[in-house]
Amino acid sequence: MPVGTTSRRPSIHFAVAAAVLATSACAVTPAVASAAPKCSDVEVIFARGTDEPSGIGAVGQAFVDTLRPMVKGSTVGTYAVQYPASWDFLKAAAGATDMSKRAQTTASQCPKTQIVLGGYSQGAAVVDVVATSPVAGLGYNAPLPAAVVPRIASIVVFGNPSARLGQPLTRMSPDFGARTADLCNTNDPICSLGRDFDAHVRYQQSGLIQLGAQWAARHINVRT
């Protein structure tokens, strides 16, 4: 479960993540411009996993619920990345576009808001694209401008398919690696060479939600 290390790489990184998802049996149940954000002290922009209903998903909600008491005195808003989260994994590029647009909108309209990017499973692959792709490609059409990069306080991903190939965000993103927690449950086959598919749906019981929230809170508090 790599946490932190240290230019973003092209969108081929997303193609690798999509390939891993397509060949792994994931056991979990059109990008648009983001509306004007309500300015909170912290905004968590989170991409849900495959087949989860619209919203930030169960892992995302657990992450936010755990984070809030760790940043007492700060308001924590959420934004659910809009994308299909379907078995057509290449459409995750739409999620990356929406996540990036939301981060850019929040950075522009809420200059004091600290931004946390997060994702679970296919949602983690969405974050991979935003964090590693400085140019458009493969359906991703809203790369983060360099000026927005410092506005991302932290990144936390769970069950990241790229980690299965030894390419966690802590290693693949020079811009964000030192601010990133790339967390993989023991024997989760989506993010490791393990074979316990149940591990992929046990993040709430694994202790990694707590670890991820602590990581984000540490970086938020440092920047407050």
The residues annotated with a catalytic role in the active site are 121, 188, 200
Strand order across the beta sheet in which 180-183 lies: 76-80, 42-47, 114-120, 152-158, 180-183
Cβ–Cβ under 8 Å, residues 87 and 28: no
Q: Say how far apart CA 116 and CA 153 lie, in whole Å.
A: 6
139: tokens are 């359906």
Q: Say how far apart CA 128 and CA 124 lie, in whole Å.
A: 6
The SS3 of residue 86 is coil
Comparing CA positions, the residue from 99, 119, 206, 210 lying closest to residue 161 is: 119
CA dihedral 51, 18, 43, 221 (to 10 degrees): 120
Main-chain dihedrals φ then ψ at residue 127, nearest 5 degrees: -65, -40
